[in-house]
Amino acid sequence: MIQTVRGTFDILPDELPRWRLVEETARAVFRCYGYREIRTPIFERTELFARSVGEETDIVAKEMYTFTDRSGERLSLRPESTASVVRAYIQHKMWTWGSVVKLFYMGPHFRYERPQKGRFRQFHQIGAEAIGHTDDPAIDAELIEMVEEYLERLGVRERALFLNSVGCAQCRPAYVRRLKEALAGAIPRMCENCRRRYEVNPLRILDCKVEDDQPFIERAPALVDHLCSACAAHFEALRRHLDARGIAYRIAPRLVRGLDYYTRTAFEITGARLGAQNAIAGGGRYDGLSELLGGPPAKGIGFALGVERLLLALPEEAAVADEAPDLYIAYLGEAARQHAFRLARRLRREGLIVLYDFEERRLRRLMAQADRVRARYAVLIGEDELAAGRYTLRDMRTGAQEALSEDALVQKLVASRSPSASASR
RNA sequence: GCGAGCAUAGCUCAACCUGGUCAGAGCACUUGACUGUGGAUCAAGGGGUUGCGGGUUCAAAUCCCGCUGCUCGCCCCA
């Protein structure tokens, strides 16, 4: 048997209502904030990710699905989408669209990692980016508010927002030097990973969860205390904006985003019941990424949210099951069969959900089937009905039956759909 | 890439530790009791080379080894 490849999975019809809820709620909420949907290709030139995400990051160094196409082009399945959106911003000269362009996206992304709870090789992200001439912290605050509002709307209550600033090209190098000096004495006694990070990416040492390393890390200087004056002011302003908006957050001095392009604002939202991978959403500012990709100077901030993780945090009752059929047609005999098909077509044109069996079966089985699919009504078309020119309509909830002409039946069923039910479709 | 756990019917699991009643139950499915009327009940039935390969033994779902797959964790990230 050929099965899905490791780290991928089918989303079956029964699970789709939850996916649709998450996706449609995102569209509804983001729209209100002026974000518009963009769809970028699922694969891009490898160079795009290598340059933006960073050659030395795990994502680029060992997690990308990279291949060469028939013309020799180096291509990669997208491991994230910020790079693509910024590429699109440059390619379509979006700076002419206005001072800040707000975009959101959703779709599959790919990373070659060992699957575990809340982590897959084909996974889904929903994200948004605000790119433009200004780095006004009010944009950061609004974006964070939008994510919070979205999660609130979905009923994800058990969550926490963590905030930090990772500085900029001016202040971060100096901080990294200071950090290395501070840890120089301790590093031989720290874990193997930290010793490696010390050389490759010292900031990530702050992320270490090894218990024995904690005392050293706690004594290390905090990034937020060594920001340049511009970054410090930006961070202060962001905090005031969040306070003013009534958004609760916690400063996480050790929150470091893994991707090279991040500057200043970094945030993460974690949820309960997720297992080891408890980050539902993460994001931050990436001033300078446009220039890095050969575009004009631009400031940007964005976030990405893991749909599979969100689904784990989503309340059970959040999504309702698919709609039940409006009508099940039970027909007996070949003549009735043609009447059944014609009736079904008329009602389906009106938007009703109509089912029938293709095989001839005994009435008892047909009624059982109508019950099993949770049909609201069943209609019986047999010899008696054909002779009388009236079908027997049965209300499956009450068991009440009445004889109706085809026109009367269609009229009744179409009217039976409440206006609110049809409006939500 | 590393570590641990698990793999029996479509699904959830039992039998495994303490090898030896034919590999079982519940749910689901099909059929009948009930010739044209569902949900309940009762009965019958279909469906398994116990993930794959090898070994030990008179005898393996059960013990041992290898492989594959899945799950969880490390790493990293959404």
CATH at A346: 3.40.50.800
pLDDT-derived band at A409 (thresholds 50, 70, 90) equals: very high
Give yes or no: residues A335 and A379 share one domain.
yes
End-to-end CA distance of chain A: 38
Strand B proximal residues, A:316-335, Cβ < 7 Å: 332
Give yes or no: residues A305 and A373 share one domain.
no
- Boundaries of domain holding A72: 16-171+227-318
Which bases on strand B have an atom closer than 7 Å to a protein beta carbon?
Answer: 1-3, 29, 31-32, 34-39, 69-78
Task: Give the strands of the sheet with A354-356, arranged side by side.
Answer: A354-356, A327-331, A377-381, A391-395, A401-404
Strand B proximal residues, A:334-393, Cβ < 7 Å: 361-365, 367-368, 370-372, 378, 380, 382-385, 392
Question: Which of A164, A177, A142 is CA-nearest to residue A263?
Answer: A164
- Output the pLDDT for position A419: 53
In the numeric block, which tokens belong to residue A352? 């009703």
- Output the pLDDT for position A47: 96
SS3 content of chain A, % helix, strand, coil (to 5): 45, 20, 35
CATH at A135: 3.30.930.10
In a domain, A140, yes or no: yes
Last residue in a domain, options A264, A284, A318 = A318
Last residue in a domain, options A266, A299, A318 = A318
Asked if this assembly's ipTM is beyond 0.85, the reply is: yes
pLDDT-derived band at A209 (thresholds 50, 70, 90) equals: confident
Tens-place pLDDT, residues A333-380? 889 999 999 999 999 999 999 999 888 888 998 999 899 889 999 999
In the numeric block, which tokens belong to residue A260? 């090279």
Cα–Cα distance for residue pair A334/A52, rounded to 1 Å:
66
A111 touches strand B (CB under 7 A): yes
Cα–Cα distance for residue pair A217/A46, rounded to 1 Å:
35
Residue A100 to residues A124, A133, A301, A314, Cα–Cα distance (Å): 26, 7, 11, 32
| Residues in contact with A287: Cβ distance below 8 Å, sequence separation at least 6, in sequence order | A135, A168, A263, A264, A298, A299, A300
In a domain, A2, yes or no: no
Whether residue A421 is predicted with pLDDT greater than 70 in this model: the reply is no
**How much is the mean pLDDT over chain A?**
91
A195 touches strand B (CB under 7 A): no
A164: left (phi over 0), alpha (psi -120 to 50) or beta: beta
Whether residue A424 is predicted with pLDDT greater than 60 in this model: the reply is no
pLDDT-derived band at A297 (thresholds 50, 70, 90) equals: very high
In the numeric block, which tokens belong to residue A160? 């926490």
A297 touches strand B (CB under 7 A): no
Is A56 or A341 the better-scoring residue by pLDDT? A341
Question: Which of A127, A93, A117, A91 is CA-nearest to residue A9?
Answer: A117
DSSP-assigned letters across all residues of A344-388 = HHHHHHTT--EEE-SS---HHHHHHHHHHTT-SEEEEESHHHHHH
- Output the pLDDT for position A362: 87
Mean pLDDT of A204-217: 79
A90 touches strand B (CB under 7 A): no
Residue A370's nearest nucleotide, by CA–C1', is B38
Residue A394's nearest nucleotide, by CA–C1', is B37
List the single range of A145-154, A250-259, A288-297 with lowest mean pLDDT. A250-259
Last residue in a domain, options A261, A285, A318 = A318
In a domain, A182, yes or no: no
Mean pLDDT of A36-56: 95
Residue listed under structure tokens 């003013």? A244
Task: Give the strands of the sheet with A100-110, arranged side by side.
Answer: A36-37, A100-110, A122-132, A299-306, A279-285, A263-271, A159-165, A250-251
Q: Count how many domains chain A has.
A: 2
- Output the pLDDT for position A317: 81
Tens-place pLDDT, residues A75-123? 999 999 999 999 999 999 999 999 999 999 999 999 999 999 999 999 9
Mean pLDDT of A259-276: 89
- Output the pLDDT for position A418: 56
Which stretches of A256-296 are DSSP H helices?
A: 289-292
Residue A283's nearest nucleotide, by CA–C1', is B78
